[in-house]
Amino acid sequence: MSRLEPQPYCFEYERIVEFAETDMAGIVHFSNFYRYMEVTEHAFFRSLGHGVHERIGDVSVGWPRVQASCDFFKPIRFEDRIKIRLTIEEIRRRSLRCLYYFFKETESDDVLIASGRVVTASVRLDRDTGEIVSIEIPPELQEKLKAAQESQHL
């Protein structure tokens, strides 16, 4: 994936880097960026009044990842304040593609430190067979996702 230039975003999540998220050099371990994307996605879904694992009637609906990538530009360390901005890149019938931009807060400006992309599929879990089956994004959620996408701002 090439460097993603920041795009308009519809959701922002802030956090402070914890000591347990760093490596021996005191830099955030790369794997935590994937966790940060997931935590941001969960907070975004909650902001829409939904969860990433929901029961709709007798059906368990979820959003497994089918693709994830992240590029790193600058390190972040213990107690750095970061902002993760989620941008909806594409809403398809059965999947959602989101971009994530990571910024380190500084006294003068926010500095882009990483960018990522995650594609998730809308699925249901068949309780009898345990099979995971791709389904269309439920209409109510699709409407909320489209509204969020249309409201994206810099």
Higher pLDDT, 99 or 128: 99
> Band of the pLDDT at 1, cuts 50, 70, 90?
very low
Interior angle at CA 141, CA 136 and CA 146, nearest 5 = 100
- Which own/partner pairs from 85-90 qualify as long-range (CB within 8 Å, at least 24 positions apart)? 85/6, 85/9, 85/11, 85/12, 86/9, 86/10, 86/11, 86/12, 86/13, 86/40, 86/41, 86/44, 87/7, 87/8, 87/9, 87/10, 87/152, 88/10, 88/145, 88/148, 88/149, 88/152, 89/7, 89/117
Q: Smallest Cα–Cα separation from 118: which of 68, 77, 152?
A: 68
Does residue 3 carry a pLDDT above 80?
no
Residues designated as active site: 23
pLDDT for position 4: 66
Residue percentage of the chain with pLDDT more than 70: 94
**Mean of pLDDT values over 130-139:** 91
Give pLDDT, residue 130: 83
The predicted structure's pLDDT at residue 61: 87
Mean pLDDT for 14-27 is: 96
**Considering Cα of 144, then 147, then 152, then 153, what sign does the dihedral take?**
negative
pLDDT, average across residues 4-11: 77
Q: Do residues 89 and 12 lie in contact, with contact meaning Cβ atoms separated by under 8 Å?
A: no
- Tell me the domain boundaries of the chain: 11-150
Computed over every residue of the chain, the mean pLDDT equals 92
The pTM score is 0.90
CATH topology (fold) of 11-150: Thiol Ester Dehydrase; Chain A (3.10.129)
Question: Which residue's structure tokens are 């994936």?
Answer: 1
Task: Kindly state the average pLDDT of the residues 44-67.
Answer: 89
For residue 32, the model assigns a pLDDT of 98
